[in-house]
Amino acid sequence: MTGFDFAAWPPTLTEAQLEELSVYATTYALSHGLLYLPPAPSLPKVPTAAIHAPLALFPSPLPRKLFEQATRLQRIYNVLYSRVALDDEFLDQVMGVETGVGKVDDFIGQLWRGWKALRDEGIDQSLHLGIFRSDYLLHSPNGETPELKQVEFNTISSSFGPLSQRVSELHRYLLSTTGYFNTSPYLSLENLPPNQTISGVAAGLAAAHSAYSASTSNARILVVAQDNERNVFDQRWLEYELLNKHSIRMIRRTLTQLQKVAKVDSTTRKLFIDVPKDLEASGSIEISVIYFRAAYTPHDFPTPAYYATRFLLERSTAIKCPSLALQLAGGKKVQEVLTQAGVLERFLADGKKYHEVFSKEEIQELRDSFMAMWGLDVGDDLLTPDGQAIQAGKENFGVRKAREEAQVLVLKPQREGGGNNVYKQDIPAFLDTLPPQERQAWIAMQLIVTPADVGNYLIRAGSTTGSSDIQAPVRTNVISELGIFGWSIFGKEGGHSHVKEDTMGWLVRTKGTDSNEGGVATGFSVLDSLLLVD
């Protein structure tokens, strides 16, 4: 049992101390680019205002040995998902339209069909870039010693790396400036780990750029952004780092814009973006790397033309982050299948297939980070080929088990971005309405039980108390989620996969215990940092 008392966090503050910390925190955030664009029906092309990102006043406690474990595991996860993305047969089986999720999930099916069509043409990716984030919660049922358990693994638009660095710097600043008024002996600089996510993510993008453009000095990295993107500063910090440290320029375009300006040379398959000649004398820009911060939700594809644009980008020789294969590898169904017997060994222990293999102990440590999960389609031999029950009213094993254990479960579809899951008491009614033929698109996962009564002070821009213009922090019980960032450049050569990877930086997102979902961009969480405890 850890010696730290989670239920005693955070320290008690007087009203004057709370106000002082709030002023220091919000002005630091506004001064150091810890920012969002304000909500609006339609954002102006030239921004004229910004608000600070939602944030926590105190760093959140995490056992030091579990932080070290999460950092250690990231290397294995980087390699694992790189190899999954290179295994066409596996992805076809799990995510395709014949036997996999794409058969019942139209969005996944569209992505898989586009990927399959390109493969049938003989177009394959020589190199892939993954910028990953593995997300974890502390699991402490009945007050037991906390364990590290994975929530999910992100292979597309793994966001908040730069802002996570800024908020960790903010907490170090508050400690240096106020000492947090000596409210806790745990609040010391040696317990606030450094966080270099900006340079780490930029290094991955720069490595991919260098791999592409050994003979091309003018190529740039393309950021594919969402329309009306408010989280632009998280992305801009990478642009500044790439320019200042690597002399690499970025450009930003949405899928809407790319429909008109993206061109792939029919001979070289190089990707060019048309720009006005008064901005670029040649009238076009060659692209080395495509960094997707969009294209992970059906809402990003309102018409078939958007899918066509996405597949046009995939056709090019630019290195995709992620490729369609790697995006599909990040599906929740893949996460569930990886928990099944022998599947990790297929990707991590096959010495005939891979130059590097992992020990039984390393694989077991990775497996120990999984929660129990299963597909709702388990036992669908009770169904006819058209998805109808052989015996009226008879449920398969996966659905029946989910119904019986609903109070300790979450149901997840193949979606990213938050707000898509079904929890606890809502599960039985959802199962009543779920058509049998759609079961394959959902997994059931045992809920992670986090330490009880952990608190923090949360600040969101615009919250005020009475006539005061000081933003009011809200003290509430919270759940904090740790994300570890990594990157990987990988491909196939001579029949073997090759992976160059690195682990860099981390993210903490904290939310009130009354919220099931956890996205910062969707308004559920605030940005936070780590306090390492023993």
Give the residue ranges of the annotated binding site for substrate. Answer: 133, 156-159, 229-231, 235, 293-296, 509, 520-521
Distances 47 to 38, 125, 225, 230 between C-alpha atoms, Å: 10, 37, 16, 10
Cβ atoms within 10 Å, residue 412: 22
3-state secondary structure of 240: helix
3-state secondary structure of 334: helix
Residue spans of alpha helices (H) in 179-303: 197-212, 232-246, 255-261
Determine which helix (DSSP H) or strand (DSSP E) holds 335, and give its type and residue range: helix 332-337
Q: Residue with structure tokens 């709702």?
A: 376
Q: Which residues of 451-477 are buried (b: 16+ CB within 10 A; e: fewer)?
A: beebbbbbbbbeeeeeeeeebebeeee
3-state secondary structure of 519: coil
Q: Distance between CA atoms of 300 and 278, rounded to whole angstroms?
A: 30
Annotated binding site for ATP: 152, 332, 412-421, 423, 445-448, 481, 511, 517
Among the listed residues 73, 92, 133, the one whose alpha carbon sits nearest the alpha carbon of residue 334: 92
Residues 421 and 410: beta-carbon distance below 8 Å: yes
**Residues in the chain, overall count:** 534
Question: Which residue type occupies 477?
Answer: N
Q: Report the catalytic residues.
A: 133, 152, 154, 159, 332, 412, 416-417, 509
- Pairing between β-strand 284-292 and β-strand 55-56 as defined by DSSP bridges: unpaired
Annotated binding site: 133, 152, 154, 156-159, 229-231, 235, 293-296, 332, 412-421, 423, 445-448, 481, 509, 511, 517, 520-521
Locate 506 and state its tokens.
């981390």
Q: Residue with structure tokens 């300006």?
A: 261
Annotated binding site for Mg(2+): 152, 154, 416
